[in-house]
Amino acid sequence: MSRPTEPQKKAVLLEKCLEMAIEVGALDASINVIAKRIGTSGRMLVYHFGSKQELEREIIALLEVRLREQLRSLQNVAIASKASLADALLAMWQQFTAPDMLGLLKLTMTLNQRAIQGDRATQEFLERETQQWINALTALTQNKTTARLLFHLFQGVLLDYLTTGNTQRGRQSIAAFVQVNP
């Protein structure tokens, strides 16, 4: 009979694994590589999580919590500042393209790639995240169609930013959208 895992130790390991995934922008490393990067052993990760698949599932669940917290923070800033829609969207763009966000953006794009390849759990995760963003943008714009358009606009400009490093084109696209959809 195996010993029960220690919840606090597991939570610390999970947090370190998420930080590592964000830092490298991916989840594709072996369990031993992950363990080495966070300063533990593969055996310890298997002990706490059972398998790499379960570790990834728990990392994605924690990522979901972090993304929701970040979304709430962006919403609160936009609402509290009583900024115009253009100002709120451009502020969001500035936050997305801050240097400390790069790993997180790469990680979410890696998850998009997994979903494209048919990973059902990742597809479900991304569907939940999409709905959260559309709901938040609907609250900001008071229009679900506009919110959906904005969500897809942000997906496109983020992909462009990640592949080219050009933040100006995204800013221009967002500003142009607001001019056409006041």
pLDDT digits (tens, 9 = 90+) for 143-153: 999 999 999 99
What pLDDT sits at residue 82? 58
What pLDDT sits at residue 173? 95
**Does residue 156 register a pLDDT over 60?**
yes
Q: Can you tell me the mean pLDDT for 70-89?
A: 72
What pLDDT sits at residue 165? 92
Q: Can you tell me the mean pLDDT for 146-168?
A: 93
| Half-sphere CA count of 8, side-chain side, radius 13 A | 0
**Does residue 1 register a pLDDT over 50?**
no
User: Which pLDDT band, with edges at 50, 70 and 90, does 77 fall under?
Assistant: low
Both structure tokens of 168: 């100006």
d(CA 147, CA 149): 5
User: Which pLDDT band, with edges at 50, 70 and 90, does 83 fall under?
Assistant: low
Fold of 7-180: Tetracycline Repressor; domain 2 (1.10.357)
- What pLDDT digit, counting tens, does each position of 20-75 carry? 998 888 888 888 999 999 999 999 999 999 998 899 889 988 888 888 887 777 76
**Does residue 4 register a pLDDT over 60?**
no
Largest Cα–Cα distance in the chain?
Answer: 65
Q: Can you tell me the mean pLDDT for 91-111?
A: 87
d(CA 70, CA 107): 15
**Of all residues in the chain, what percent carry a pLDDT higher than 70?**
92
What pLDDT sits at residue 180? 85
d(CA 107, CA 16): 15
d(CA 19, CA 78): 27
What pLDDT sits at residue 95? 83
What pLDDT sits at residue 45? 92
What pLDDT sits at residue 18? 92
What pLDDT sits at residue 80? 61
